């Protein structure tokens, strides 16, 4: 065997997630996370070149003085987490809204009154590109320490062409310069700006006729998303934006049925979206249609937790019906200010009754499918990018169990130790 750059040996549990690079895990498959006891991984030129039991690998591998050898005795090794839904490029966060919400104001009510997303729009417009870059970089640093090695990043705090493009350029630069890989999504239709309050369709015109062509022309995004919600964008407006985006070469995603059951899940199936996200109020029919169409359901329990909801998305129903489920932090300045994928996994188990194995599948290989990158990341398999995390814990079940703690000890990105 060629001389490896890095070898991890003796992992008590090596959680490979193997076998689903071309199709996301559904139903029973979610529980099967491909654990190798006393596992080893071999890395060469940023890629995984061998995976197996330590005693088998050690006989095959040609360790040289240049090989970095990591002893993972008593540790658990997993693929880097993939976060398929974030809003990390923004001006200011909105901690003042916490007191308002504790006193009974609703999230959509705050938005209606010009706060919420619209408040962040103001602070984002006024920030120079370099400041947006520096603050988002810090968020990526935190993600990396939490074991997240790829994130999707949305615009949506501009709501006019110049600021939307500014956010996407910042995000793209982060992808080039930061160790965390960043995948861009255009979310020009994230809220209706104040000036368009009485003319929402005119704002949709602006999104599809002015913003979208420039985003595509500059190659600033792979996906297009929209906030389909009562008082924000209707199902028909969402259909229009996503259909146009698809024609222009961007893959559709949708913020669907987060707070009200509008039919966003059904629309996701109609337009063959890559993912439908939130789904707190998705209907039975919507769930069935998503399963048939193979739309990944990205669940964001951190958001419903932070918005003090008692009800969570019906993960068990979705799994039973065959929706490929994924998990995300939804890192943003107002409804989910966290980078902790581990905490999200705990919430998925405690509030949505997902098993630890199911939640881990949802945060790795299925999350990679939600951003169309499962051929490269999301599992520990030969030929995949060497994005690996070593956790100081005896098994995978310990992750959601000992909650609110970062168990990450070492992060390896493209074969290099970065944490």
Query: Considering the complex, what minimum distance in angstroms separates the CB of residue 119 from ligand NIG?
Result: 8
356-363 helix and 341-352 helix, angle to the nearest 10 degrees: 140
Q: Is 303 in the site for ligand NIG (CB under 6 A)?
A: yes
Q: Is 185 in the site for ligand NIG (CB under 6 A)?
A: no
Q: Is 255 in the site for ligand NIG (CB under 6 A)?
A: yes
68-71 and 181-189: which strand pairing?
unpaired
Query: Considering the complex, what minimum distance in angstroms separates the CB of residue 7 from ligand NIG?
Result: 40
Task: Out of 81, 143, 186, 227, name the contact with ligand NIG by CB under 6 A.
Answer: 227
Q: Is 231 annotated as ligand-binding?
A: no
Strand ranges inside 46-201, DSSP E: 47-53, 68-71, 76-79, 81-83, 148-154, 181-189
**Of 120 and 357, CB closest to ligand NIG:** 120
**Of 278 and 413, CB closest to ligand NIG:** 278
Dist. CA 232–CA 105, nearest whole Å: 18
Query: Considering the complex, what minimum distance in angstroms separates the CB of residue 319 from ligand NIG?
Result: 22
Q: Which of 20, 178, 6, 152 is nearest to 77 (CA)?
A: 6
Residues 66-86, buried b or exposed e (16+ Cβ, 10 A)? ebeebebeebbbbbbbbbbbb
Size of the site for ligand NIG (CB under 6 A): 14
- Please give the full DSSP string across 203-217, using - where no structure is assigned: HHHIIIIIIHHHHHH
CB under 6 A: which stretch of 5-13, 141-149, 329-337, 352-360 binds ligand NIG? 329-337
Query: Considering the complex, what minimum distance in angstroms separates the CB of residue 366 from ligand NIG?
Result: 18
CA-based torsion, 290, 325, 375, 186: positive or negative = positive
Strand ranges inside 84-170, DSSP E: 148-154
Q: Is 157 annotated as ligand-binding?
A: yes
Task: Out of 333, 378, 400, 415, name the contact with ligand NIG by CB under 6 A.
Answer: 333
CB under 6 A: which stretch of 72-80, 332-340, 356-364, 396-404 binds ligand NIG? 332-340
CB under 6 A: which stretch of 29-37, 112-120, 167-175, 393-401 binds ligand NIG? 112-120
Phi-psi region of 257 (alpha: psi -120 to 50; beta: other; left: phi over 0): left
Binding-site residue numbers for Zn(2+) are 85, 87, 255, 330
Q: Note the residues at the interface with ligand NIG (CB under 6 A).
A: 87, 116-117, 120, 227, 255, 258, 303, 330, 332-336
């Amino acid at each position: 065997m060629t001389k490896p750059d890095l070898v991890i040996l003796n992992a008590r549990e090596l959680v490979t997630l193997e076998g689903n690079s071309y199709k996301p895990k559904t139903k029973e498959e979610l529980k099967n996370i491909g654990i190798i006891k006393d596992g080893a991984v071999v890395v060469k030129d940023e890629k995984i070149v061998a995976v197996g039991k330590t005693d088998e690998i050690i006989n095959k591998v040609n360790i040289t003085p240049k090989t970095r050898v990591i002893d993972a005795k008593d540790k658990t090794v997993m693929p880097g987490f993939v976060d398929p839904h974030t809003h990390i490029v923004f001006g200011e966060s909105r901690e003042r809204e916490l007191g308002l919400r504790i006193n009974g104001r609703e999230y959509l009510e705050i938005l209606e009154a010009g706060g919420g997303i619209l408040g962040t729009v103001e602070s984002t417009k006024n920030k120079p590109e370099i400041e947006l870059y520096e603050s988002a970089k810090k968020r990526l640093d935190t993600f990396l320490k939490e074991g997240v090695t790829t994130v999707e990043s949305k615009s949506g705090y501009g709501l006019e062409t110049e600021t939307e493009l500014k956010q996407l350029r910042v995000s793209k630069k982060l992808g080039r310069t930061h160790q965390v890989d960043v995948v861009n999504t255009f979310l020009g239709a994230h809220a209706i700006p104040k000036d368009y309050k009485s003319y929402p369709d005119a704002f949709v015109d602006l999104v599809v006729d002015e913003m979208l062509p420039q985003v595509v022309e500059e190659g600033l995004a792979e996906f297009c998303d929209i906030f389909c919600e009562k008082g924000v964008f209707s199902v028909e407006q969402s259909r229009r934006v996503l259909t146009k985006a698809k024609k222009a070469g961007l893959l559709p995603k949708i913020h669907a049925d987060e707070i009200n059951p509008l039919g966003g899940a059904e629309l996701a199936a109609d337009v063959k979206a890559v993912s439908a996200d939130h789904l707190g109020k998705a209907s039975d029919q919507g769930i069935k249609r998503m399963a048939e169409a193979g739309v990944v359901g990205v669940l964001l329990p951190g958001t419903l937790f932070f918005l003090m909801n008692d009800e969570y998305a019906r993960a068990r129903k979705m799994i039973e019906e065959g929706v490929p489920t994924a998990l995300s932090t939804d890192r943003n300045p107002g409804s989910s200010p966290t980078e902790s994928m581990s905490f999200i996994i705990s919430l998925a188990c405690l509030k949505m009754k997902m098993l630890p194995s199911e939640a881990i599948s949802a945060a790795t290989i299925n999350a990679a499918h939600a951003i169309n990158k499962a051929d490269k990341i999301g599992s520990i398999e030969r030929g995949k990018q060497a994005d690996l995390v070593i956790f100081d814990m005896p098994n995978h079940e310990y992750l959601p169990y000992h909650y609110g703690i970062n168990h990450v000890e070492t992060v390896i990105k493209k074969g290099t130790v970065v944490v």
